[in-house]
Structure 1
Amino acid sequence: MSDPEPCRMKHTEDPEEQRDLMKVKEESEELNEVKEESEELSEVKKEREELSEVKEESEELSEVKEEREELSEVKEESEELSEVKEESEELSEVKKEREELSEVEEESEDLSEVKEESEELSEVKEEREELSEVKEESEELSEVKEESEELSEVKKEREELSEVKEESEDLKVKEESEGLSEVKEEREDLSEVKEEREDLSEVKEESEDLSEVEECEEMREVKEESEEIREVKEESEGQ
């Protein structure tokens, strides 16, 4: 017969060991849960950091968009100003042309008046010639003295008329020469205006080229900033 006490001792120690093992298992599970929670928290932190970085990038992009919109508005305003300048130049040219036309009309009126005066003089000549013919016919019946006197008077009148003709011709020549000189000056002014227009067009083209270059530089700077932001992200993720 064997002693039953040692078997009983073994049976009595087993449940305590099992309890200890159960406690150890529970503690290990709790530790695992704590580790998982810490890992989840770290992941959440990373996600929050990424979200903050994304927000910053979106804000930077919005600022870039606003700057681009402002640049577009500035461009539109500059274009409107250039159009207004062109319209003002065209108006000034129209005014000059009107002034030139008014001067030409005045010159034509003066010439028409001179023509009318010359026609009136010619009519006076004809009338005087007719009168002289009548006088001659009447003088044939009168004395020789009266004929000589009337002839002398007619000669004087003719001389006066010739002088008047010469004066009118001189006036015509002077007015025509003055008109030609004014036309030459107007043509020179018009050529200068054309040259100024060409210079203005060249200046506009240069300003447009400069604006395009500035836009390209701004786009490059924005690209470089975005690349730097990406590099910083990659470094933070690697850490």
Structure 2
Amino acid sequence: MTFDLFEHLEPPDVVREEFAPGAVILRHFVLPQAKAILAEVAIVVEYSPFRHMTTPGGYAMSVAMTNCGDYGWVTDHQGYRYSAEDPLTGKSWPPIAPLLYQLAVEAAVQGGFPDFQPNVCLINRYAIGAKMSLHQDKDEKNFDYPIVSMSFGLPAIFQFGGFSRSDSVQRCLLTQGDVVVWGGSSRLAYHGILPVKAGYHSDTGDCRINLTFRKVN
């Protein structure tokens, strides 16, 4: 059974939920710009298509990925890293669109991080059943800058834990237009996404799209 969760809802007001030191959810923060953001994603995908990257251990990730910005996050048998070149196309990644950059900076300010200047946007496509295991974002050179993560399409359960994979986790439902910002003392917290449940969204179909903005250096 499929369903459309948001087709008939009016954009609600932004609600700020702090769930850990230096970590907030900005409910519906980019909901009014959702269609424009997804249109920018489509442009990126034309130049650097989604692909299922392989972990250093040889496992194909269930989440399809691409990037825009000065660098892109990649993984293969050589390890996790940032690359200025898309290994699939052999060309530079597409730039971060001004709208995406502006909204990421504004979200960081709302989260308490006024000096964020992202130069990477990792774009994830979660098909039904796709997930992201608990992990730390630690491939950046400087952890002084936050992570800004935007959600679109199908809802997902975001897990946020401590500094060990075995620590207890909070579970937060993320829906279209929600933005999560975390940094400071929570910058290296383990986090992940539980398997996306079956459904349908009028803007993305049967998948979830997630944009994660980072400052690499």
Structure 1 length-normalised TM? 0.16
- The structure whose RCO (Cα within 8 Å, separation 6+) is larger is 2
Question: Who wins on radius of gyration, i.e. which is larger?
Answer: 1
Higher helix proportion (structure 1 or 2): 1
More strand by share: 2
TM-score normalised by length of structure 2? 0.17
